[in-house]
Amino acid sequence: MRDKSALGDLAICGGVPAFGEPLHVGRPNIGDRDKFEERIGDILDRRWLTNGGRYVQEFEQRIAGLVGVEHCIAMCNATVALEIAIRALGLKGEVIVPSFTFVATAHALQWQEITPVFCDIEPRTHTLDPEKVERMITPRTTGIIAVHLWGQACDVDALSGIAAQRGLRLLFDSAHAFGCSYRGRMIGGFGDAEVFSFHATKFLNSLEGGAVVTNDGELARRMRLMKNFGFAGYDEVVYIGTNGKMSEVSAAMGLTNLESMSEFMAVNRRNYRRYHEELAWLEGVRVMHYDEKEACNYQYIVLEIDESKTAVSRDQLMQILWAENVLARRYFYPGCHRMEPYRSYFPHAGVLLPETERLVNRVLVLPNGTSISAEDVSAICGVVRLAVENGPEVRQMLDQIKGDSVSVS
């Protein structure tokens, strides 16, 4: 790790990269390896690898207890969990979703020939704007899928009120929000159901996996049938279904990481506070603020870059960081509405999404997790400060590099 004090030190200018190996935004957290290997040994000894074994059942019970719900249905991944929840809820026609989300939120609808209607977001939280949601409701609307983004809760009360008043289903994509709370209540028990992700890049992973949590017993019953081909008994199929089961190995990893969850959160919180201390005062850079009175996993370090104040653009800053082996990400660029097939279906959707259109060109997410030390954070912040404090010179330098590249080609 190398500190940078002058523009000539930047790797993009020929200097040595700050880090010898790439730092990823979401490098997997690994809990107690010995405990995980012990569980794997037990799984192999018993030769029960899938189909709702001991570890999946225990994982479901632990998740339900932690978030305070009656039912947890573990799945092979969060996308399949979304698809099954959507089908079990009987959604059809049109469903309102944000465009500023991972594309799986929209694909889970379109895959089932349900039209995702993209709605704009609140600029502060980056989550669905309830006032805009009301304006998007039509006679074909059957539900709302809201996303708790970065672990920041949506305006649950307002969205719940709209859904109840208009007779709509309300599903929360809570892929970012495991271990987080809303007004002192753990995320997981809101709406008709919520979907968690335990993908390898999430702060708590089960290698690959997801889950639907709900207090609706009938909905839970349908989803349990649907995730296992509709089997209600050994050879009795009573419902249409697919294969959405979580494996025992994934559940073993999930349980192992649950036991280290407080450690993961503490490291994330430490890193978040240092990022905030070192960057919050920087002109033109907004660091996403988390309410520390709420439970939070602090996984995402989110910057908004205001190019009118920094001179250097978000994409230029990302280019500089990548040269230093800091693989910052521009989530969720360019917005679902500008990805296929949606940009062909709805070519003018951006007219109704001004906050989304603005945000996709400003957001930059920095590395966090147990593989990132406090010293790493300081070094990353040093690069960001150096680039932003010398914005005009950096912009001119990058334009020159780009011009030279074009001339050579």
Per-residue pLDDT band at 5 (split at 50, 70, 90)? confident
CA distances to 60, 65, 104, 193, 282 from 70, rounded to whole Å, are 10, 8, 26, 11, 45
103: Cβ contacts below 8 Å, ≥ 6 apart? 332, 336, 339
User: What is the layout of strands, in order, in the sheet containing 301-305?
Assistant: 285-287, 301-305, 363-366
Cα 103 to chain centroid, rounded = 11
- 71 & 102 share domain: yes
Determine the pLDDT at residue 155: 98
- 110 & 220 share domain: yes
Determine the pLDDT at residue 3: 76
Tokens 């929000």 identify what position? 177
Q: Where in the sequence is the domain holding 269, given as residue range(s)?
A: 7-13+260-328+367-408
- 230 & 265 share domain: no
Q: What are phi and psi of 188, to 5 degrees?
A: 140, -30
Give the domain CATH number at 75. 3.40.640.10
Residue 25 counted as domain residue: no
Residue 27 counted as domain residue: no
Q: Is the pLDDT of residue 77 over 90?
A: yes
- 104 & 146 share domain: yes
Q: Is the peptide bond before 332 cis (omega within 30 degrees of 0)?
A: yes
How confident is the model over 264-275, as a mean pLDDT? 98
224, 233 Cβ separation under 8 angstroms = no
Q: Is the pLDDT of residue 378 over 60?
A: yes
316, 394 Cβ separation under 8 angstroms = yes
- 221 & 316 share domain: no
- 253 & 387 share domain: no
Q: Of 258, 277, 311, which marks where a domain is finished? A: 258
Residue 349 counted as domain residue: no
The larger pLDDT score, comparing residue 34 to residue 8, is at: 34
Give the domain CATH number at 394. 3.90.1150.10
122, 128 Cβ separation under 8 angstroms = yes
> What is d(CA 372, CA 28) in angstroms, rounded to the nearest whole number?
11
Determine the pLDDT at residue 399: 83
How confident is the model over 130-141, as a mean pLDDT? 98
Give how many domains the chain has, as a whole number: 2
Averaged pLDDT of the chain: 96
Cα 108 to chain centroid, rounded = 15
> What is d(CA 292, CA 301) in angstroms, rounded to the nearest whole number?
14
Q: Of 218, 243, 258, which marks where a domain is finished? A: 258
Q: Is the peptide bond before 341 cis (omega within 30 degrees of 0)?
A: yes
Buried b (16+ CB within 10 A) or exposed e, 360-387: bbbbbbbbbbbbbeeebbebbbbbbbbb
> What is d(CA 40, CA 138) in angstroms, rounded to the nearest whole number?
51
- 240 & 266 share domain: no
Please state whether beta strands 301-305 and 363-366 pair in parallel, antiparallel, or not at all (unpaired): antiparallel
Residue 344 counted as domain residue: no
Q: Is the pLDDT of residue 39 over 60?
A: yes
> What is d(CA 190, CA 187) in angstroms, rounded to the nearest whole number?
7
Residue 185 counted as domain residue: yes
How confident is the model over 195-220, as a mean pLDDT? 98
| 318-337 pLDDT tens trace | 999 999 999 999 999 999 99
- 191 & 285 share domain: no
- 380 & 279 share domain: yes
Q: Find the Cα–Cα–Cα–Cα dihedral 306, 309, 311, 314, rounded to 10°.
A: -10
Q: Is the pLDDT of residue 380 over 80?
A: yes
Residue 346 counted as domain residue: no
Q: Give the residues across from 329 on adjacent strands.
A: 365
Determine the pLDDT at residue 403: 66
Determine the pLDDT at residue 102: 98
Q: Is the pLDDT of residue 409 over 60?
A: no
- 281 & 378 share domain: yes
Determine the pLDDT at residue 401: 78
- 136 & 271 share domain: no
Residue 336 counted as domain residue: no
How confident is the model over 147-163, as a mean pLDDT? 97
- Whole-model pTM: value is 0.96
Quick one: 320 exposed, middle or buried, by C-beta within 10 A (0-12, 13-18, 19+)? buried
Q: What are phi and psi of 298, to 5 degrees?
A: 55, 30
How many other CB atoms are there within 10 angstroms of residue 276's CB atom? 16
Residue 188 counted as domain residue: yes
- 148 & 208 share domain: yes
How confident is the model over 15-26, as a mean pLDDT? 95
Q: Of 202, 232, 258, which marks where a domain is finished? A: 258
Per-residue pLDDT band at 227 (split at 50, 70, 90)? very high
